[in-house]
Structure 1
């Protein structure tokens, strides 16, 4: 049974995203014994990974799970592959170095009106440097939930990347997976919650 759970949000997102709040509420009601962390990740991927490792230092791999959405899905892949723990990825970014190269400069936050940050060119290099190996070392630890209706990332690329693990392909939906709640039973089963 899982004892520790980490949630990693996407680019320009935060712990205030609908999925992060939904999971925080679920944990509070159903598993208040669970060690739960959903940090605000910094714009620098290297700093984000440092924060993730600092938060989870001492967490037991066998009973740790991670959920990641979009860029958080990329980070969750890196984390889960290095730790050998279970992961659920929601519309995960496959090549964020390529995709985010077009977003260098000032960015606004989705859930914090008026807040912004600088996404720097060196962050693209940081993403490139941390890309997990292909093929993944532990694909069996991953459940990828991929929406064909994702308007930001290519579902075919996500499906190809995570084909060796468990894959749930959704006919419609969108990048934010607004029907997240309907996929929670699969998430809970995979994470052994």
Structure 2
């Protein structure tokens, strides 16, 4: 129910609104001290009406940051590859799921994410405690569990629209809070992560 509602709101956004939000999101995110000092950032390429990430990916690269992007595996886990610009992406249709833009080059393995200083997470909402509501596929739950097992402590940042910061989202025992949410209007930090 929750996911359907957030996706329905997103589906009504115009391309212009999505593009404008992506530019503002990049501007706000690039002000984060965690990103200013980052050497490696695990990110993702937004699709459809997700808050746009392309401007942010290119700005990080321009700063000399190594940007890792996910490639969805058949079991919903994520492999990683390097982003070296628009021409390093390939559109991949995953069965009945949505088409994703993934790195076209060498795969670095699921553990490559453990080298990231910051992990930018997609989501549908985040609540007052930093709990993130994802799409429900479990891919990023696996990433967060992998980071925990490896003892890696990157900053966890979710990228959302302003209306997707809510009082509460449903959380399960395995869910982990994020450190911050970036929206087109600003940054909100959470103390729990």
Instruction: Determine if the TM-score, normalized by the shorter chain, exceeds 0.5.
Output: no
Q: Which has the higher strand share?
A: 2
TM-score (norm 2): 0.38
Q: Which has the higher helix share?
A: 1
